[in-house]
Amino acid sequence: MTELKNDRFLRALLRQPVDRTPVWMMRQAGRYLPEYRASRAAAGSFMDLCTNPDAACEVTLQPLERYPLDAAILFSDILTIPDAMGLGLYFETGEGPRFRKTVRDEAAVDALPALNTERDLDYVVKAVSTIRRELNGRVPLIGFSGSPWTLATYMVEGGSSKDFRRAKAMAYDQPEVMHKLLTKLADAVTEYLNAQIRAGAQAVQIFDTWGGALSDRAYREFSLHYMQRIVAGLTRESEGREVPVILFTKGGGQWLEAMADTGATALGLDWTTDIGVARKRVGDRVALQGNMDPAVLYASPERIREEVGVILESFGRGSGHVFNLGHGVTPQVDPAHAGAFFDAVVELSGKYHEQ
> pLDDT of 16-37, one tens digit each?
999 999 999 999 999 999 999 9
Look at residue 2 in the predicted model and tell me its pLDDT.
75
31 catalytic residue (yes or no): yes
Q: Calculate mean pLDDT across residues 137-146.
A: 98
Instruction: List pLDDT tens digits, range 287-336.
Output: 999 999 999 999 999 999 999 999 999 999 999 999 999 999 999 999 99
Known catalytic membership, residue 165:
no
Taking Cα atoms as reference points, which of 260, 40, 248 lies closest to residue 145?
248
Q: Decide: 352 and 21 in contact? Cβ < 8 Å.
A: yes
Range from 84-98, 105-119, 177-191, 270-284 carrying the lowest mean pLDDT: 84-98
167 Rama sector, left if φ>0, alpha if ψ -120 to 50, beta otherwise: alpha
CA–centroid distance for 228 within its chain: 16
Residue 56 has pLDDT above 70, yes or no: yes
Out of 8, 20, 27, 305, pick the active-site residue: 27
Residues 45-74 have a mean pLDDT of 96
d(CA 347, CA 355): 17
Domains contained in the chain, CATH given: 21-274 (3.20.20.210)
Residue 95 in this model has a pLDDT that exceeds 80: no
352 has catalytic annotation: no
Annotated binding site for substrate, which residues?
Answer: 27-31, 77, 154, 209, 327
pTM score of the predicted model: 0.97
- Binding residue numbers: 27-31, 77, 154, 209, 327
Mean pLDDT of 191-210: 98
40 counts as catalytic: yes
Q: How confident is the model at residue 96 (pLDDT cuts 50, 70, 90)?
A: confident
Q: Quick check: is 334 catalytic?
A: no
Residue 1, pLDDT above cutoff 70: no
